[in-house]
Amino acid sequence: MNEKLQILKERTEDVEIIFVGGILDAHTAPILENSIKETIENGIVRIIFNLKDLEYISSAGLGVFMAFIEEIRNKNGDFKFAEMKEKIYSIFELLGFHLIFDILKSNDEAINYFKNNYLKKNEW
């Protein structure tokens, strides 16, 4: 486990919650990338990223989500985000990522989105 970036996974039926905490920068982004790859290889395509302990994100970190989103949506899966801090949200907003990802208040809310099969479409 990298001391700058913490990743914890929790499985609920066919949904995996990945808790990402610490610093997600150009240096640590490959760690998250490998971790997501592993989850997808295990056949999980419905993933919630709980970002309550995420303190920092840069474009390299955001790029990790972009790298997989098309693949998992093609497999009828999605990424949802839960408990994101305001400062992290401000970066998602700057890039318009709030328009392509569901950003929710809690894990439960995100799980419900999956249960109701609500998949966000790219709005362009």
Partner 1 sequence: MSGKYKLVLKADLNELDKLRDFVKNICYENNIDEGNLFKISLALEEACVNLIKHSYKFDSSKQISIYSKVEKGKIHFTLEDYGASFDPREVLPIEIEQIRKKYQKGGMGIFLISQIMDEINYTPKNKNSPSNKLELTKILE
Binding residues for partner 1 (CB under 8 A): 4, 23, 25-27, 56, 58-60, 62-63, 66-67, 69-70, 87, 90-91, 94-97, 99-100, 122, 124
Nearest to residue 45, comparing CAs of 76, 3, 82, 1?
Answer: 76
Residue with smaller CB distance to partner 1, 62 or 119: 62
Nearest to residue 15, comparing CAs of 93, 104, 122?
Answer: 104
Residue with smaller CB distance to partner 1, 36 or 111: 36
| Count of C-beta atoms within a 10 Å radius of residue 51 | 22
Residue with smaller CB distance to partner 1, 25 or 109: 25
Residue with smaller CB distance to partner 1, 8 or 26: 26
Q: What 3-state DSSP class applies to 115? A: helix
For residue 47, the minimal CB distance to partner 1 (Å) is: 15
For residue 41, the minimal CB distance to partner 1 (Å) is: 19
